[in-house]
Structure 1
Amino acid sequence: MLRTVVRLTPTFIFPIFESRNANDYDMLNKDTEAPRTGFERVKMMYTTNEYDEVSPEMNQVAQAAMFGTFIGGCMGGFVKSRNAYLYFIETNQATIFTSTMQAKKKLQDYVTVAFAKGACQWGWRLGIFSGMFSLIATTISVYRDDTSLVEYITAGAITGGLYKANLGLAATFVGAGLGAALSTIAGLAILGVLKITGVSMEDIRQALYKLREVREDQLNQAIEKSAKIKNDDLTRHHDQLVLEKGEKKVEEM
């Protein structure tokens, strides 16, 4: 009965149990000689190519971790700096400063230090959380060779449980349940967007990897062009000096 319900469920509205339509448009062509087993796909995910470059899946995990670190640093820094600003104003009303500039400098230093502390406290936590969640979800997705709600729920439960593991067994189960619930909502939203747009997570990973390659290629071209211009200027200056002073042999110098 469950299979009948799953088969008859419109995947456009409830895109959980089925993958996208076979006639959907693929953004990028996949490798025809892709690994057939799940362990082979996971092994390729964790290995580098002949140029020591990570796989598109690991590139996505690294980007998720860095993005989480950036967001966590901004959130923690803004919250801590705001609290520090209010605390400084409230506790230094009776403090005597020699000038307005000194008061502003003390306030700026206090807020800056608080921002740095808040960014460090929240940045690494959210970065590890995002990276762990993305790593687990991507590993399960690569092993299954499909994107569904299973990996989001599993990754959210494991990550939430590990995040609260230091507080005891009860907190671990609460963290796992809360992580699974939030991941279910996020997974439904992501799967819905993927189904509507007609792309897959593999397409997104490959697109992000291509963007990274293009960015690195542009950077290498800019560095090479700058070095070429610099060398050309140095060569012209050398030729001008030789033309002005004339050529000299080593024995004559």
Structure 2
Amino acid sequence: MWRTVLRLTPSFSIPIFRGTNVNDTNLLLERTPDVPQTGWERVKKMYSRNDYEEMSVELTTVIQSASCGAFIGAALGGFVSSRVAYLNFIENNQATIFKSTAQAKKQLQDYVTIAFAKGAYRWGWRLCFFTGLFSLTATTVSVYRGDTSLIEYMSAGALTGALYKIDMGLAATLVGAGLGTVLSAVAGLAILGILKVTGLSMDEIRKALYRLKEARENQYNQALEKSATIKNDELTKSHNEIVKELGERKIDDIN
């Protein structure tokens, strides 16, 4: 019954359990001899390096997501902690006598800076870990299935929510898993809706992000090469001037 309902349901109305309609065509999913055909083959390729010892497009996307989570977590945690520290310092030191205004400002700055660092560390690694775990789980399930749907988001949300509350007992773990499933389902519906409206697939987005990464690396390598060329040119010029001034000497003549 459910298979009949899903088969007859238009993909533009309820894009939940499958990303595209069965009659739609996607050139990225067409079978080719060099592309892994089974789910485990695709997962194995995802966790393997290519001939140039480069990570796969999927793992690169996971690392980018984790790095973005670390940056956002560090920024939010640092700003919130520094603001709380600033208010606490003003409240607790209203009757404190300082030798000078500079000393008070210095202590305030040190107090706020330490609080910012602690907050950035505390929230940065947590958001990095859970964002990376969520992205890794969702991407692995998606690669294994060869499609993008709500299943991978719900499974990743359940696993992440359970691990977040695992130190509080079994009941809290189940509550965290349920809450993570609900929140990830809402986020997954939003993502699938955006993909359907834009006509893109998650694989195309991963490849676009990977091309951006390659473009940044190429620009960085070109800048290094240009800097090295300029440096070598100046060094060669200086060497030629010294040789011209002092003359050439053989290695045997140097003590």
Residue 13 of structure 1, CA deviation:
3.3
Cross-structure match for 1:209: 210
Asked if residue 172 in structure 1 is aligned to residue 169 in structure 2, the reply is no
What is the one-letter code of the residue matched to 1:3?
R
Cross-structure match for 1:37: 38
2:163/2:173 contact within 8 Å kept: yes
Residue 38 of structure 1, CA deviation:
0.3
State the SS of the aligned residue for 1:116: helix
How many residues end up aligned between the 2 structures? Answer: 252
Closer/same/farther in 2, CA of residues 129 and 31 from structure 1, 3 Å limit: farther
Cross-structure match for 1:148: 149
Cross-structure match for 2:6: 6
Q: Which has the higher contact order (CA 8 A, sep 6+)?
A: 1
Q: Distance in 2 between matches of 1:14 and 1:80?
A: 42
State the SS of the aligned residue for 1:115: helix
Tell me the C-alpha RMSD between the 2 structures: 2.1
Deviates more, 1:183-192 or 1:44-53: 44-53
State the SS of the aligned residue for 1:34: coil
Cross-structure match for 2:119: 118
Cross-structure match for 2:20: 20
Q: Distance in 2 between matches of 1:4 and 1:156?
A: 28
Cross-structure match for 2:67: 66
Cross-structure match for 1:86: 87
Asked if residue 128 in structure 1 is aligned to residue 143 in structure 2, the reply is no
Closer/same/farther in 2, CA of residues 251 and 40 from structure 1, 3 Å limit: closer
Deviates more, 1:125-134 or 1:207-216: 207-216
Residue 236 of structure 1, CA deviation:
1.3
Q: Distance in 2 between matches of 1:31 and 1:244?
A: 67
What is the one-letter code of the residue matched to 1:114?
A
Q: TM-score when scaled to structure 2?
A: 0.92
Cross-structure match for 2:53: 52
Render the CA deviation track for 1:39-62: whole Å, top value 9, x for unaligned.
000011111112221111111111
For structure 1, list consecutive stretches of 5 or more residues without a partner in the other structure.
Answer: none
Q: Distance in 2 between matches of 1:74 and 1:198?
A: 33
1:24/1:199 contact within 8 Å kept: no
1:35/1:41 contact within 8 Å kept: yes
What is the one-letter code of the residue matched to 2:190?
A
What is the one-letter code of the residue matched to 1:5?
V
Q: Distance in 1 between matches of 2:67 and 2:253?
A: 61
Deviates more, 1:47-56 or 1:106-115: 47-56
2:73/2:125 contact within 8 Å kept: yes
What is the one-letter code of the residue matched to 1:11?
S
Cross-structure match for 1:244: 245
Closer/same/farther in 2, CA of residues 30 and 223 from structure 1, 3 Å limit: farther
